[in-house]
Structure 1
């Protein structure tokens, strides 16, 4: 008799909750009061292993249970709260009879792969600079290895797009997941800056193979009039990764080590590789629909593609500016540095809510150019308002507004790209698309750091650039409409 998915989730959840309590109540006092560092090392390793199994149980339940995404989200959040797993177990026990088991849904596995890819990225943010310094890297090398990942990621994105069109997204997904998991384990052997640079290049390159292939697989197996909604759901997992990844790595690294954090991520990657081999290989790409054949002669440089690429670049340009300027702005105002993290979480939570709630239907009903211009415009206005915000209340409000803009922009540019490119070129299109994502992050932070602007001028410049692109997208939509009529 097979175990019910909720039974598996409850058992692993209780084990995770018990191991967390043992870590906090026994191992950490032994380390910080009696100097027994080995206690945290051993108990932290046990807890990390159990958490990895628990994460797989959450994934399995999300795939097999006919319930909303709020349950998996609650299960993840409970893992970081003492006694949270026990409260969740009580809720799950009562809810079990209310939900039926459904056949395996490949889409949730694709969502999970997207989550893994961005979780890998965001989990690096709080720990990579300190890890680089711990192996003897100078301040210049610390900054270099952080940016190096994005540059290598860009090359991986482009190669993934080209190869996806040639051999199909499934094979590229398998290669990307497997090699990324192996690359994550290499951090255990890093003991000098040169080896760290080599590992960062390898890690960034192979990780860049995953996302274009995953989005191509999702787009090619989606009904045409539901693509916007599905892209919005995908954005939910990107947002969750942005919220959970930094918190997970920061907490786990403080209790164990940075290489151990990457090992936990690697275990998830190997597990997804196995699940993909079993479940995704049997899915065939759907035949092209007639309305996809009217695209611009297989061109990657029509109006829709250019706007999608521009939207991707300036979206991440804005993110790079936020990551660079917001902590400095908060510090200048005299607030605790933790406020920067909660502000980032605020915009992520707002975006996730718009992705997962019925508001996601707008991306299949409104023109992508309209929602693109609206989202980019809101983000531009938010950048201008951040420079004028001096209280915590106004900062939270403005970052919430920024989250709304992000939530409108991300699905819009993805949907626009899907509709502007025929199926046989979609992999290459997504490869270049996510290359622009990676380049945008580098450009946003490095350009503002190079220009002789203060913090407020940096926000103002970014806001003006975003508003100009929003105006371009809106004007271009009107021109395309006039040409078509």
Structure 2
């Protein structure tokens, strides 16, 4: 006998709608905040746990990698558990894993907690969008999405500044502890309001082999990228083994997912030109964007001597224009070609990185802040137009799967890009240090004059003058290496513009759903 059709619950109204919006938005904010709040704390965390800053960066990359793997599971889990129950459980587990991060006594425990935190965070973003859309009348869906986008955008603004202030004023552990009360409040309110509005459940088979092969290649590739520099890359049997596992499991994953009846990642979507070009463009762009958000605070603290809170304030202005331009984007998107908007975003990012490529070791604070402030403009033009391109022309039943796959690709690219660019910065710094050190010879009269000048100005012994000169040389080498990264980043943004113009976005269709997928 056929089961009766279940009607969607009516929209919320009044104070219940306001309270529900706050609770769901807080869950989104908590998740987005956690992706950026640790950036400025990495040097402090590394120092307190007795590891290098490069190892400390795993706190960011492993969270992103675990989050990427979990995203494709959201649809299956929602069908099995129910939308509301899954959302509440994900919030509670996120709060618990945040507490585990805070009490971690060493790096291994912290990384394990961050992997758990990233995994349980997977459903939070897509479910928060769906729950908010279901809470508002259809004619106010744009308002619901605007509120969601505003919350998601405020996270990158508040994260670095809040993380820096907490780290300097209290302890780095508190950047994780603050999630606990926020999460408990959001979970409690969400359950009280939505427990009678649960989505229908049904038992669907899970693609276990696809999931295991996904975990295998993502984990082995991410560990290879994170450990490669420390183990001398392919001179190490460990790295060679990881590379082989990643390659074999990735090929197997592609073949299996292409033929599976219920694939965990629908790789067949990449046969669609718009989806393929848009997903590659947004993934590469996000990888460069996110990686630079990680290394910039490390340089500011490690070589310019800024406190964590000051480094956070330097990077915080990123979201100002992104928030201010959000309502403008909502008005111009329906009337504009998303390829033009995405191209303007990439040109804007290239301009910002070219500005940064002229930094020096005595750069002033305004010169640091200005590119970050201006970066908010292309950020406002970035996600929604590219998502519109990705989803345009797809049938309605394919849009949720396409949004999930593109988000998986983007988030994993952010983790992999951070590892690659961190390694690139280190390699370029070593190269520039070697080139500068060639001139630091006792036979070089310029070097002798420089040491004598430092000795005369600072006093102390000649050995102290040499040590001061060496510190200056290290700072200069790191600056030159970072400038190389900025140049490369600008070039990548220009190079991927043609990908946008290989697509042909259809009018309507997926574009209308783009904001929701973002």
| Alpha-carbon distance between aligned partners in 2 of 1:280 and 1:371, rounded to the nearest angstrom | 37
Q: Tell whether the 8 Å contact from 2:24 to 2:132 is kept in structure 1 after alignment.
A: yes
| Alpha-carbon distance between aligned partners in 2 of 1:192 and 1:328, rounded to the nearest angstrom | 20
Partner of 2:276: 306
Calculate the TM-score normalised by the size of structure 1.
0.64
Residue 244 of structure 1 deviates from its aligned partner by: 1.8
Q: Which moved more, 1:202-211 or 1:388-397?
A: 388-397
* 1:429 paired to 2:423: no
Query: Could you report, residue by residue, the CA deviation over 1:249-269 in whole angstroms, capped at 9, with x for unpaired residues?
Result: 333344443444423211111
Partner of 1:269: 183
* 1:326 paired to 2:296: yes
Tell me which of 6, 10, 24 is aligned to 1:110. 24
| Alpha-carbon distance between aligned partners in 1 of 2:93 and 2:184, rounded to the nearest angstrom | 9
Partner of 1:450: 423
Q: Tell whether the 8 Å contact from 2:338 to 2:388 is kept in structure 1 after alignment.
A: yes
Q: Tell whether the 8 Å contact from 2:290 to 2:418 is kept in structure 1 after alignment.
A: yes
Partner of 1:467: 494
Instruction: Tell me: CA distance 1:209–1:366, structure 2 relative to 1, closer, same or farther (3 Å).
Output: same
Tell me which of 402, 419, 428 is aligned to 2:375. 402
* 1:350 paired to 2:318: no
Residue 403 of structure 1 deviates from its aligned partner by: 1.1
Instruction: Tell me: CA distance 1:271–1:413, structure 2 relative to 1, closer, same or farther (3 Å).
Output: farther
Partner of 2:44: 130
Q: Tell whether the 8 Å contact from 2:66 to 2:119 is kept in structure 1 after alignment.
A: yes
Instruction: Tell me: CA distance 1:370–1:395, structure 2 relative to 1, closer, same or farther (3 Å).
Output: same
Unaligned runs of 5+ in 2: 1-11, 201-265, 429-480, 508-518
| Alpha-carbon distance between aligned partners in 2 of 1:331 and 1:192, rounded to the nearest angstrom | 22
Instruction: Tell me: CA distance 1:477–1:165, structure 2 relative to 1, closer, same or farther (3 Å).
Output: farther
Partner of 1:88: none
* 1:360 paired to 2:330: yes
Q: Tell whether the 8 Å contact from 2:161 to 2:312 is kept in structure 1 after alignment.
A: no
Alignment size in residue pairs: 372
Calculate the TM-score normalised by the size of structure 2.
0.61
Give the alignment's Cα RMSD to 1 decimal: 3.9
Which of structures 1 and 2 has the bigger CA Rg? 2
Partner of 1:294: none
Instruction: Tell me: CA distance 1:190–1:395, structure 2 relative to 1, closer, same or farther (3 Å).
Output: closer
Query: Could you report, residue by residue, the CA deviation over 1:434-461 in whole angstroms, capped at 9, with x for unpaired residues?
Result: 3233223223332223345432221122
Q: Tell whether the 8 Å contact from 1:236 to 1:352 is kept in structure 2 after alignment.
A: yes
Residue 408 of structure 1 deviates from its aligned partner by: 0.9
Q: Tell whether the 8 Å contact from 2:85 to 2:198 is kept in structure 1 after alignment.
A: no
Unaligned runs of 5+ in 1: 1-62, 66-100, 287-296
| Alpha-carbon distance between aligned partners in 2 of 1:139 and 1:172, rounded to the nearest angstrom | 35
Instruction: Tell me: CA distance 1:113–1:415, structure 2 relative to 1, closer, same or farther (3 Å).
Output: farther
| Alpha-carbon distance between aligned partners in 2 of 1:325 and 1:141, rounded to the nearest angstrom | 13
Q: Tell whether the 8 Å contact from 1:160 to 1:428 is kept in structure 2 after alignment.
A: no
| Alpha-carbon distance between aligned partners in 1 of 2:25 and 2:356, rounded to the nearest angstrom | 32
Instruction: Tell me: CA distance 1:197–1:342, structure 2 relative to 1, closer, same or farther (3 Å).
Output: closer
Partner of 1:374: 344
Q: Tell whether the 8 Å contact from 1:129 to 1:142 is kept in structure 2 after alignment.
A: yes
Partner of 1:234: 148
Partner of 2:98: 184
| Alpha-carbon distance between aligned partners in 1 of 2:88 and 2:139, rounded to the nearest angstrom | 28
| Alpha-carbon distance between aligned partners in 2 of 1:418 and 1:475, rounded to the nearest angstrom | 15
Instruction: Tell me: CA distance 1:371–1:108, structure 2 relative to 1, closer, same or farther (3 Å).
Output: farther
Residue 327 of structure 1 deviates from its aligned partner by: 4.5
Query: Could you report, residue by residue, the CA deviation over 1:99-132 in whole angstroms, capped at 9, with x for unpaired residues?
Result: xx68547555433321121123333333355345
Tell me which of 159, 167, 180 is aligned to 1:245. 159
Residue 398 of structure 1 deviates from its aligned partner by: 3.1
Residue 473 of structure 1 deviates from its aligned partner by: 0.7
SS in 2 for 1:205: helix
Residue 151 of structure 1 deviates from its aligned partner by: 1.5
